[in-house]
Amino acid sequence: MQPLKSKNKIEMYAIVDIAGQQFKVVKDQKVYVHRLDAKTGTKVSFDQVLLLYDGGKVTVGAPAIANASVEAKVVKHLKDDKVIVFKKKRRKGYRVKNGHRQSLTEIVIESIVTSVKKKAAPAAKAEKEAVKAKPAAKKETAKAVSKKAAAKPKADLSTKTVAELKAMAKEAGISGYTSLKKAELIAALSAK
């Protein structure tokens, strides 16, 4: 990909996804984006960098580049120019005129960061904890399987008719058994 041809040679730019739109940004550029939930003067970071050009080297993300981000500062919140929406159907007398002003945020790109240092120690700790948790999880699943086996009724209820299940529910003292369906009756009887 060729860089922009201009008097000032661009050494680095990025294509970044900001609030659902893609922008080509360089350092110290002013960009108007959809309204962001950030106060004026705060710094924001966008990590959805889709393409990075750094002095002749092009890096394309799939879909985003890992360890790359764009740092920006919120300058102000404002509204865009008014957009008129006019609809008309000829010979029908149908005319509708509406308009709106889009809410925008003005940001200034402060830097394009290409790599972020990762902490290796917390990742190693998390892996060790995951290894320790696996045997305990196996024990818990074995207990759950044994409880399920104990909870199964001695007689297979799925082979019985609805009338037989309702008779069993009446004997067991389940209230409202007449309006229950077969699956609900089986669940209620197996719970008793």
Please write the tens of the pLDDT for every residue from 58-92.
999 888 999 999 999 999 999 999 999 999 999 99
Residues 64 and 47 sit within 8 Å (Cβ to Cβ): yes
Q: Mean pLDDT, to the nearest integer, of 25-49?
A: 95
- In the numeric block, which tokens belong to residue 103? 């809410």
> Contact 74/39 with Cβ under 8 angstroms?
yes
* The token pair that represents 75 in the structure block: 């300058």
Least confident of 32-36, 40-44, 119-123: 119-123
Determine the Cα–Cα distance for residues 166 and 181; give it in Å rounded to an integer: 9
Return the higher-pLDDT residue of 151 and 183: 183
CA distance 160 to 42: 68
- Write down the pLDDT at residue 144: 53
Question: Is the per-residue pLDDT at 164 higher than 50?
Answer: yes
pTM listed for this prediction? 0.53
Q: List the chain domain ranges.
A: 12-113, 125-191
177 in the Ramachandran plot: left (φ > 0), alpha (ψ -120 to 50) or beta? alpha
Ramachandran bin of 154, using left for φ above 0, alpha for ψ from -120 to 50, beta for the remaining angles:
alpha
Q: Residue 80 has which token pair?
A: 């865009």
pLDDT tens-digit profile of 102-151?
Answer: 999 999 999 999 874 444 445 555 565 655 555 555 555 555 545 554 55
